[in-house]
């Protein structure tokens, strides 16, 4: 299965990906996680990305495209992958297409998790991430167990100002690629409101109709 999870910031892409990759046995490739790792490691790529990320702006295409295309060329992606947060612009979507065509493979599905803007700020402001396990919690909707609370982190771009900017970028740069995938019959729209388990059931049901190419 070669698939993309798309949706506004805080829609639940990371939360759902963590469950789905176990079901499908494919790697979860989050461009946001890869960029945060590069920032933490202090690499040249991370230094370039850091300021854009903190402001909620998109990291330039030429930085992100090379990073993700190289990643999906690794052996663990030979039988599929779940992209989360990439592509986010039309040039990224086109670069992905070109890379897959060169490799003689194709996308199987694009899942759009839909959540209204009004709900997003509450989701990201309550998010806490576990740097040890990668688990994603929410102080109200998915409270963390007491033994991990002290090590949880609140992302630097989960402020109201950065979140507003991220939403703006989503509507301006990312939402326009949705018709690109809809026109090719790949798009599955899923309501992202409700308990994470309910959303997972909706995604799983939507993916049942997908014919997976080899």
Whether 127 is a known active-site residue: answer yes
Q: Which one of 85, 95, 144, 177 is in contact with ligand AP5 (CB under 6 A)?
A: 85
DSSP-assigned states of every residue in the chain: -EEEEE-STTSSHHHHHHHHHHHHT--EEEHHHHHHHHHHHT-HHHHHHHHHHHHTPPPPHHHHHHHHHHHHTSGGGTT-EEEES---SHHHHHHHHHHHHHHT----EEEEEE--HHHHHHHHHTEEE-TTT--EEETTTBPPPGGGGGG-B--TT-SHHHHHHHHHHIIIIIGGGHHHHHTTT-EEEEE--S-HHHHHHHHHHHHTT-----
| Catalytic residue from among 2, 88, 123, 188 | 88
- The residue within the footprint of ligand AP5, chosen from 2, 28, 138, 188 (CB under 6 A), is 138
Q: Please give the residues from 140 up to 179 whose contact with ligand AP5 meets the rule CB under 6 A.
A: 141-142, 157, 166
Nearer Cβ to ligand AP5, position 1 or 45? 45
Residues that bind ligand AP5 (CB under 6 A): 7, 9-15, 31-32, 35, 52-53, 56-59, 64, 85-86, 88, 92, 123-124, 126-127, 136-138, 141-142, 157, 166, 192, 194-196, 199
């Amino acid at each position: 299965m070669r698939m993309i999870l798309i949706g506004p910031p805080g829609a639940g892409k990371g939360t759902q990906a963590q469950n789905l990759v176990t079901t499908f046995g494919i790697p979860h490739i989050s461009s946001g996680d890869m960029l945060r790792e590069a920032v933490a490691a202090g690499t040249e790529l991370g230094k370039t990305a850091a300021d854009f990320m903190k402001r909620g702006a998109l990291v330039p295409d030429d930085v992100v495209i090379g990073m993700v295309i190289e990643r999906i060329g690794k052996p663990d992606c030979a039988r599929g992958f779940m992209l989360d947060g990439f592509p986010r612009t039309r040039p990224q979507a086109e670069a992905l297409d070109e890379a897959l065509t060169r490799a003689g493979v194709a996308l199987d599905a694009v899942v759009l998790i839909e959540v209204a803007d009004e709900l997003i700020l509450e989701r990201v402001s309550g998010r806490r991430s576990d740097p040890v396990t990668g688990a994603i919690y929410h102080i109200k909707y998915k409270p963390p167990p007491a033994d991990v609370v002290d090590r949880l982190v609140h992302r630097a771009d989960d402020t109201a100002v950065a979140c507003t900017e991220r939403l703006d970028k989503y509507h301006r740069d990312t939402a326009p690629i949705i018709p690109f995938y809809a026109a090719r019959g790949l798009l599955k729209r899923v309501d992202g409101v409700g308990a994470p388990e309910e959303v997972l059931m909706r995604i799983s049901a939507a993916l049942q109709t997908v014919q997976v190419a080899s």
